[in-house]
Amino acid sequence: MKILKLVIAVFLLGSCNAQNNNITLKTNNTDNTLLWEISGKQLSKPSYLFGTFHLICKDDIPFGPQLKTAVKSVNEVYMELDMDDPGRLTGALQLMNMKGDTTLKSLYSTEEYKKLQLFFSDSLQMPLAMFQSMKPVFLEAMLYPKMLPCKTMSGVEEELLLLAKENKKPIQGLETMAFQASVFDSIPYTGQAKELLKAIDSLQAYKKYFEVMVKAYKSQQLKKMQELLSNKDFGMEDNQDILLDKRNKNWVTQLNTIMKKESVFIAVGAGHLVGDMGLISLLRKEGYKVRPVEN
């Protein structure tokens, strides 16, 4: 059950207590930062954009002093989902299950399924039978703890939630659980099943890729992260439009309204920040000034 709870946590990345927003945060000398200030376009107060990582060694989470100042200065914190929703865990189970009567067994040949069973039994010490309805993409997420060199892991969103609560900042979500379920349902289960088996067969290669991605995140090299996400063997190039581009455009539409009303701290997966269809580029195209902040 610990691994199941971990997977749920992995994918779940106006207050009267708002501080004075007339602050000036130091600009980063390069674009190597996960923290960005959004201003201009008649915004009365700046908002902030931050790239998260869904699972990482807890000691590696990059919360610098300026990030903490930014969180203190805003009215609300927006994440992909409302992480403070008491029904989040129940909704997560619905998000993780495949539609209809599709089962894992139906997605694999007899030989492939036996290989999957053996891996879960030997490497994860869990029976595959208990995950028959789970989308393969979430089963793939169970491999991530085996790729990290630490025992104490956490989601950046989870730690940011604690920081927001310390500062009495309300949490909001840019998407609903039902919408996120539809996103993963739009990727064919057969394709997800193929990727899960590929990850198990090439676990050491995936581990090296994951290590490089974590290193790029820790050093806040967004261009390197963009390059890795475009990797034809390990990245999400085939599903980028579904997982990133369309969602980014929808979020910018929402943020146009939200940021006019109040100052907010926006925390979404770092992959959503980069590229021509990333949030930094899209917000600039909307006429905002988006500048890198030292973190």
Residue at 268 is within a domain: yes
Number of structural domains the chain divides into:
1
Residue at 259 is within a domain: yes
Residue at 118 is within a domain: no
Residue at 109 is within a domain: no
Identity of residue 2: K
Domain that holds residue 70: 2-99+144-178+204-293
Residue at 53 is within a domain: yes
Choose among 192, 262, 286, 211: nearest CA to 43: 262
Residue at 243 is within a domain: yes
Residue at 12 is within a domain: yes
CA–CA distance, 2 with 100 (Å, rounded to integer):
27
Give the 3-state secondary structure of residue 86: coil
Q: Which residues pair with 173 in a beta bridge?
A: 79
Tokens at 237, concatenated: 């190039």
Q: What is the per-residue pLDDT for 15?
A: 38
Residue at 113 is within a domain: no
Burial of 102 (0-12, 13-18, 19+ CB in 10 A): middle
Q: What is the per-residue pLDDT for 3?
A: 47
CA–CA distance, 6 with 128 (Å, rounded to integer):
17
Burial of 232 (0-12, 13-18, 19+ CB in 10 A): exposed
Q: What is the per-residue pLDDT for 9?
A: 45
Residue 280 CA from chain centroid, whole number:
16
Averaged in consecutive runs of 10 residues, what is the pLDDT profile of the chain (295 residues)?
46 42 80 95 94 89 92 96 71 80 94 94 90 92 84 89 95 90 89 92 89 93 90 71 92 97 96 94 97 94
